[in-house]
Structure 1
Amino acid sequence: MYTNVGAQPGVPRPPTNPQPNPFGNAFYGAGSGLIRGGLGAYGEKILGSSSEYVQSNISRYFSDPQYYFQVNDQYVRNKLKVVLLPFLHRGHWTRITEPVGGRLSYKPPIYDINAPDLYIPFMAFGTYVVLAGLSLGLQGKFSPEALNWLFVKGLLGWFLQVMLLKVTLLSLGSGEAPLLDIMAYAGYTFTGMCFPVLGRIIWRYSYYFLMPWTCLCMGVFLVKTMKRVLFAEVRSYDSSRHHYLLLFIALAQFPLFTWLGNISVNWLF
């Protein structure tokens, strides 16, 4: 009804389309842009930092599984020589690093003989189970249940070796070594374990010569590895404690090898 009323004399007509306030819109646009930009940057910072934190912790404790299977025939031959004949290894025991993405990373096993791998431990573990089953068959005691128990016994021995190395690192104040590294070093136990079991199959008395030798070689290999590789980043270094722990690792191989080398249907002996 008011739109049809004309302009009264002496009374100014109000504008039908008021002009927008440039300052208000400017402040509103700038403020909302700042808020959106600030919140976005803050969110990206939080998400980015959390993602980097998770990735760094995963790589620190678990690393990349594909790294441990980058091997070839030459590496396998040379690595077996180092594990079974550590006294003849004339090179250094430290791992080789290379810059990747602005950070130092270790070279894969195919380029570094001192790098840990999981190919040899898994193959050696499978060979150990097969030889154990063959030994039971020659004794007339083979059964699927007995083979299953030997398989579990081997896994338990691997787990005990991992715990031995892990607890040793924790006792020195450094438990940051990747878990797969420790699993690889502990898994080399079955590389030496296969020879006494095979020797018993071929000639029973050879077991008593091969078992002490493989225990000694594995002890030396782990001592060299722990000293040059895993202990390299220990923050709190105690020389006397360091040597006692290394000696304990070497001596612990004898009961472990004796237990794993006793192929029988008895679980404990």
Structure 2
Amino acid sequence: MYENLGAPQGGPRPPSNTQSNPLENAFYGASSGLIRGGLGAYGERILGSSSEYVQSNISRYFSDPQYYFQVNDRYVRNKLKVVLFPFLHRGHWTRVTEPVGGRLSYKPPIYDINAPDLYIPFMVFGTYIVLAGFSLGIHGKFSPEALSWIFIKGLVGWFLQFVLLKASLISLGSGEAPFLDIIAYAGYTFTGMCLAVLGGIIWSYSYYFLMPWTGLCMAIFLVKTMKRVLFSEVRSHESSKQHYLLLIIASAQFPLFVWLGNVGFHWLF
């Protein structure tokens, strides 16, 4: 009964004004087109440029993590030979490039022995922890706490090696080397470390021979590698400063190896 309240009973209804002003429609269409077109394009340009900026910086500093795990058995064997016996490496130390998407890119480790990888550093780091735990067990010092300290000690040593290499590049104004490249180069330290700890387990006196030997081999490997990075990829021309930095990198390997190779209860010793 309340549906027709207030409405005239019968008779024609007043016509409703359903037509709008054509000038208003034109103005509304133009303004909405401006908002959708101009502001939309502007926002897309901002978001697109920021996305490209983020992607370019990620690729510059972190690269592609999958790239560092493209390895096979042949690469692992040859890479271990290069790290443990760098003076026997008769080939060149430069990395192999290939055109990808209109620009040059480095080939993955499976195709280039000089490319850095993360498979070997992670594997030798785990092996170092296992061998250190086994050495503690032989000397009757094994405990979960001792193994935890060895793990922390290894991580600190890896970090110190990374800081040394990164600081060397930054001091020359060339700190844009890929982050994972430097992580990989620093992680190769545990390759020789495993050999020294294993030798100490088999024959305790061999430790005093293997430790300086593996430290020397790691020094040669890093000097050759960083020399390539500094001279070829970075193209810095401060040769005297580069030589001093390379000497510092090589000299730092011996105390680092002695510290990491001394498998004790506390990570400071």
Q: TM-score, normalised by structure 1?
A: 0.88
Match of 1:90 in 2: 90
Q: Is the 8 A contact 1:174 1:233 kept in 2?
A: no
Point out 4+ residue stretches in structure 1 off by more than 4 angstroms. Answer: 16-21, 23-28
Decide whether aligned partners of structure 1 residues 35 and 204 sit closer, same or farther in structure 2, where only a CA change above 3 A counts: same
Residue 225 of structure 1: SS of its match in structure 2?
helix
Q: How big is each residue's C-alpha offset from its partner over 1:89-141, in whole Å with a ceiling of 9 and x where there is no partner? A: 11111112222223322211111111111110011011111111111111111
Match of 1:118 in 2: 118
Distance 1:50 1:102 in 2: 22
Displacement of 1:17 after TM fit? 10
CA RMSD of aligned residues (A): 2.3
Match of 2:146 in 1: 146
Displacement of 1:207 after TM fit? 1.2
Q: TM-score, normalised by structure 2?
A: 0.88
- What is the aligned length? 256
Displacement of 1:250 after TM fit? 0.4
Q: Does 1:134 align with 2:134?
A: yes
Q: How big is each residue's C-alpha offset from its partner over 1:133-187, in whole Å with a ceiling of 9 and x where there is no partner? A: 1111111111111111111101110010000001111101011111111110000
Residue 79 of structure 1: SS of its match in structure 2?
helix
Residue 82 of structure 2: SS of its match in structure 1?
helix
Most deviating of 30-39 and 136-145: 30-39
**Where does the alignment leave 5 or more consecutive residues of structure 1 unmatched?**
5-15
Distance 1:60 1:104 in 2: 14
Correspondences of 1:1-269 after superposition (within 5 Å): 21=22, 29-30=29-30, 32-234=32-234, 236-269=236-269
Match of 2:5 in 1: none
Displacement of 1:29 after TM fit? 3.6
Decide whether aligned partners of structure 1 residues 261 and 25 sit closer, same or farther in structure 2, where only a CA change above 3 A counts: same
Decide whether aligned partners of structure 1 residues 17 and 229 sit closer, same or farther in structure 2, where only a CA change above 3 A counts: closer
Residue 229 of structure 1: SS of its match in structure 2?
helix
**Where does the alignment leave 5 or more consecutive residues of structure 2 unmatched?**
1-11
Distance 1:151 1:17 in 2: 79
Decide whether aligned partners of structure 1 residues 213 and 17 sit closer, same or farther in structure 2, where only a CA change above 3 A counts: closer
Q: Is the 8 A contact 1:177 1:230 kept in 2?
A: no
Between the aligned residues of both structures, percent identity stands at 81
Match of 2:7 in 1: none
Distance 1:265 1:175 in 2: 36
Match of 2:9 in 1: none
Letter in 2 for 1:149: W
Residue 99 of structure 2: SS of its match in structure 1?
strand
Decide whether aligned partners of structure 1 residues 25 and 217 sit closer, same or farther in structure 2, where only a CA change above 3 A counts: same
Decide whether aligned partners of structure 1 residues 133 and 17 sit closer, same or farther in structure 2, where only a CA change above 3 A counts: closer
